[in-house]
Structure 1
Amino acid sequence: MESSYKTLEIIRNNTDSSVFHLILNRPSHLNALSLDSFIELPKALSSLDQNPDVSVIIISGAGKHFCSGIDLNSLSSISQQSSSDDKGRSSEQLRRKIKSMQAANTAIEQCRKPVIAAIHGACIGGGVDLITACDIRYCSEDAFFSIKEVDLAIVADLGTLQRLPSIVGYANAMELALTARRFSSREAKDLGLVSQIFGSKSELDHGVTKIAEGIASKSPLAVTGTKAVLLRSRELSVEQGLDYVATWNSAMLISNDLNEAVSAQMMKRRPRFAKLIGNLVSGVH
């Protein structure tokens, strides 16, 4: 990719592949999320979303761990910036900062393309915020997790408390968030936080890439539509969700992708789908 980042790296391992890797790239800091991370993540996701060569995005971490949470220096910096004689203005400034950081994770959901988390080693605090915004999560056997914020006298505010209950259930999310206890890859799988465990990081990288390539081979209209409808359905009743998908398919069902999929099935060949068009206006999702 043409852009360079301080905290991230974007890699395309194979020029023929439409699977791109978005790597948290602060290994010397255990990929702790700095203030720069929250600025760069939505920019990188927007760039990948608008790139017609991209069908699926895999988020992973460089080095020994996926993400050790929010950089403590960043927390200290936020605290110092918010100290003011005017409590009202200080609080308003802090709220805007929190909303900006929340938007970085929400950008994962706003990206049209599926975003898969490949987790190894530690996934702590802000790392859990990040992966709960992803569409699918896989991990290696050595992965471990913790919703750590209460141990830092913080209410988790970047998405975990909003997204995790729908993934693992309300009671499980409450227990994990209040105890801040560390839990293993096996428990994460049992809870439904991750879909599959791989024996090692190399097996994780290979396995998730293979899964992503399979998704990338499908109709991009069907894949992006499935993501959009599932996300929207979280907020709707069954009846409302059915109405929403009926409206969606009335606009998207009749397409060249449908004709190609049917033709490929009948001729017993691999389908070939056209790429999605990038956003006409930057920042529009």
Structure 2
Amino acid sequence: MEKFKTLEIVQKPPNSGVFHLNLNRPSHRNALSRDFFSEFPKALASLDQNPDVNVVVLSGAGAHFCAGIDLTTLGSISDSTLSGSDRGRSGEKLRRDIKFLQDAVTSIERCRKPVIAAIHGACIGGGVDIVTACDVRFCTEDAFFSVKEVDLAITADLGSLQRLPAIVGYGHAMELALTGRRFSGSEAKDLGLVSRIFGSKEEMDRGVTLVAEGIASKSPLAVTGTKAVLLRSRDLSLDQGLDYVATWNSAMLVSDDLTEAISAYTQKRNPVFSKL
């Protein structure tokens, strides 16, 4: 398995379909370095293509999930832009840099396998960008969040302003993004940003493992299809979304997984599905 500077991939428990992708710069509170933005899409692509992987759990090593973008990364982007003498060319380069960073976060949605965020401690700025791109989110009671970019004189540009309103509602997203205020795990639950709160990281690890293993035991065709259709339907009208899922199922519905699911149900046993 490939080694990364900023990430760690662990299969846990062994021989399960659940793989853990850990942000692994605990001494920097998992702040997002330039290396992270190069490595993260590669890690997710490798998990996506690995037939042993059914579900990915994303978490942070150490005391925090993610403290946001590393200020040295931000500084290097700013310096390289300001050093150019041509305003147009400098602006074009900055746009490419932003698109590069955005692409790393969007790689969560490109991954066919569900990505579950397990959040503890700080989830700030770029951390919020990341978790809003995940498919399911859980957190601990002591977790705290902040859409912090406005306090750094930046308009958040890695996805929070696009994804957060659909999760918590337009009004809540606007207030959180304009104030940059810190909010708790319990408020995140009330807003719908997370589905469930756990009393400690240990409790969350156990709870998330149970959820992930439950999803991993289901038909991989059905699971990846559900993620793909939900994401696509976000940008479609109701009629377009219904047409899209009809087309999807016309290709995927009749499968060995369907036969196995029906057989297992009638025989009162757990189904066993082939890898994807």
| Shorter-chain TM-score tier | over 0.9
* 1:281 corresponding residue in structure 2: none
Matched, 1:32 2:52: no
1:81: how far off?
A: 1.2
Query: Hey, what's the Cα distance between the residues in 2 that align with 1:62 and 1:206?
Result: 16
Q: Distance in 2 between matches of 1:18 and 1:245?
A: 26
**1:137 matched residue in structure 2:** 137
Alignment-derived partner of residue 280 in structure 1: none
**What runs of 5+ residues in structure 1 fail to find an aligned partner?**
277-285
> 1: distance between equivalents of 2:16 and 2:125?
32
Amino acid corresponding to residue 266 of structure 2 in structure 1 = M
The CA distance in 2 between the partners of 1:103 and 1:207, in whole Å, is 30
Name the structure 2 match of 1:20.
Answer: 19
Q: TM-score of the superposition, structure 2-length normalised?
A: 0.99
Partner of 1:59: 58
Aligned to 1:254, the other structure's residue is in SS state coil
Equivalent AA in structure 2 for residue 98 of structure 1: I
Task: Letter of the 1:152 partner, please give it.
Answer: L
TM-score by length of 1: 0.96
Residue 175 of structure 1 aligns to a residue whose secondary structure is helix
Match of 2:98 in 1: 98
Q: 1:15: how far off? A: 2.2
Aligned to 1:73: 72
- Matches of residues 178-189 of structure 1 in structure 2 within 5 Å? 178-189=178-189
Partner SS, residue 82 of structure 1: helix
Partner of 2:166: 166
For 1:150 and 1:195, how far apart are their aligned partners in 2?
Answer: 26
The Cα shift of 1:51 comes to 0.3
Q: Distance in 2 between matches of 1:71 and 1:160?
A: 17
Structure 2: give runs of 5+ residues left out of the alignment.
none
Equivalent position of 1:266 in the other structure: 266
CA distance in 1, matches of 2:78, 2:60: 27
Percent of aligned positions with the same letter in both sequences?
Answer: 72
Output the amino acid matched with 2:195: S
1:207-229 CA distances to partner (integer Å, 9 max, x unpaired)?
10110000000000000000000
Q: What amino acid sits opposite 1:66 in the alignment? A: F
Aligned residues: 275
Instruction: Name the aligned partner's letter for residue 60 of structure 2.
Output: G
**Structure 1 ranges of 4+ moved more than 3 A:** none
Q: Equivalences for 1:42-57 in 2 at 5 Å?
A: 42-57=41-56
| AA at the equivalent of 2:214 | G
Match of 1:216 in 2: 216
Counterpart of 1:192 in structure 2: which amino acid? Answer: G
Aligned-pair distance for 1:103?
0.3
